[in-house]
């Protein structure tokens, strides 16, 4: 158990809908990262938040957004969902977000868009 | 160009043998970190081992060691005395920048390791 929690574990929804994925980092970690794992794209970095502020964006679509709250939990919002958004979404946390920090991953949320 | 290359899509290994999983990387940043993660069929990503670009010695964590050859830009994972529970996908990943880098990890495509009894 990495100490990072994600809810829900599974999510099934329809095209055009909007969903919110939730992540709680390990106790003491200030940085939260979101990743998408799909069969065709592999594991891709989406976005990084540090202590409530956005630090870096990766291959995140404009339909997707995220935020980190004062209690450090984070939410990833996916809207106008398409079939291709079906994937495993991970969040990871690290202490401060430095290059040497180890990122510990949550169990993931499996999103299926029908 | 791919930043992380894992050339072995799949490997079959006999139980108790040592395994080497290959990883080469590409960066012009002198400061970077290399990570290996294990993803069993249940789907979670498990951190195994980390090597920093300035580390003088190869990293070790229990049965895992990292064969770091900086000049060749390779960071191979070695698993000693493999066990059935080692069967999983293994991902090599890199993060560039020591303190200024805020980007996430860049992952390779992974190696599917199957340990046979």
| pLDDT of A78 | 98
Matching residue, tokens 């996916």: A78
Task: Provide the number of CB pairs (under 8 Å) joining chain A to chain B.
Answer: 73
- For chain A, what percent of residues have pLDDT higher than 70? 97
Q: Is any Cβ of chain B less than 8 angstroms from the Cβ of A64?
A: no
Residues of B in contact with A56 (CB under 8 A): 102-104
Over range B68-87, report the average pLDDT: 97
Least confident of A69-73, B24-28, B96-100: B96-100
Q: How far apart are alpha carbons B11 and B20 in whole angstroms?
A: 10
Q: Is A70 exposed, middle or buried (0-12, 13-18, 19+ CB in 10 A)?
A: exposed
B92 φ, ψ (degrees, to nearest 5): -95, 140
Contact (CB<8Å) A35/B98? no
Q: Is any Cβ of chain A less than 8 angstroms from the Cβ of B103?
A: yes
User: With 60 as the cut, is the pLDDT of residue A109 above it?
Assistant: yes
Q: How far apart are alpha carbons B117 and B115 in whole angstroms?
A: 7
Q: How far apart are alpha carbons A35 and B106 in whole angstroms?
A: 10
Least confident of A14-28, A66-80, A93-107, B68-82: A93-107
Residues of B in contact with A103 (CB under 8 A): 35, 47, 104-105
Residues of B in contact with A107 (CB under 8 A): 43-44
Which pairing describes strands A10-13 and B64-69: parallel, antiparallel, or unpaired? Answer: unpaired
pLDDT digit string (tens) for A37-71? 999 999 999 999 999 999 999 989 999 999 999 99
How many CB atoms lie under 10 A from the CB of residue B90? 24
Residues of B in contact with A2 (CB under 8 A): 44, 46-47
Which pairing describes strands B106-107 and B4-5: parallel, antiparallel, or unpaired? Answer: unpaired
Beta bridge partners of A23: A6, A74
Matching residue, tokens 């939260």: A32
Q: Is any Cβ of chain B less than 8 angstroms from the Cβ of A28?
A: no
User: With 60 as the cut, is the pLDDT of residue B99 above it?
Assistant: no
| Rg from Cα positions in chain A | 13
How many CB atoms lie under 10 A from the CB of residue A55? 18
* Residue A34 to chain B, least CA–CA distance (Å): 8
């Amino acid at each position: 158990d990495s100490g990072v929690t994600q809810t829900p574990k599974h999510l099934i929804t329809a095209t055009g809908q909007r969903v919110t994925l939730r992540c709680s980092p390990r106790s003491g970690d200030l940085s939260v990262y979101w990743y998408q794992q799909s069969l065709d794209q592999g594991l891709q970095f989406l976005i990084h938040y540090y202590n409530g502020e956005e630090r870096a964006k990766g291959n995140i679509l404009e339909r997707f957004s995220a935020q980190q709250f004062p209690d450090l939990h984070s939410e990833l919002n996916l809207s106008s969902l398409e079939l291709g958004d079906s994937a495993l979404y991970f969040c990871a946390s690290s202490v401060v977000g430095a290059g040497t920090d180890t990122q510990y991953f949550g169990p993931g949320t499996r999103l299926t868009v029908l | 160009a791919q930043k992380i290359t894992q050339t072995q899509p799949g490997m079959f290994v006999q139980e108790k043998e040592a395994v080497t999983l290959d990883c080469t990387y590409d960066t012009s940043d002198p400061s970077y970190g290399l990570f290996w993660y294990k993803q069993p069929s249940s789907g979670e990503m498990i951190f195994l081992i980390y090597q920093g670009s300035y580390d003088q010695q190869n990293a070790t964590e229990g049965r895992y060691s990292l064969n770091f050859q900086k000049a060749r830009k390779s960071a191979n994972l070695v698993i000693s005395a493999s066990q059935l529970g080692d069967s999983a996908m293994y991902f090599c990943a890199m993060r560039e920048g020591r303190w200024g880098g805020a980007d996430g990890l860049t992952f390779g495509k992974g190696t599917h390791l199957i340990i046979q009894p």
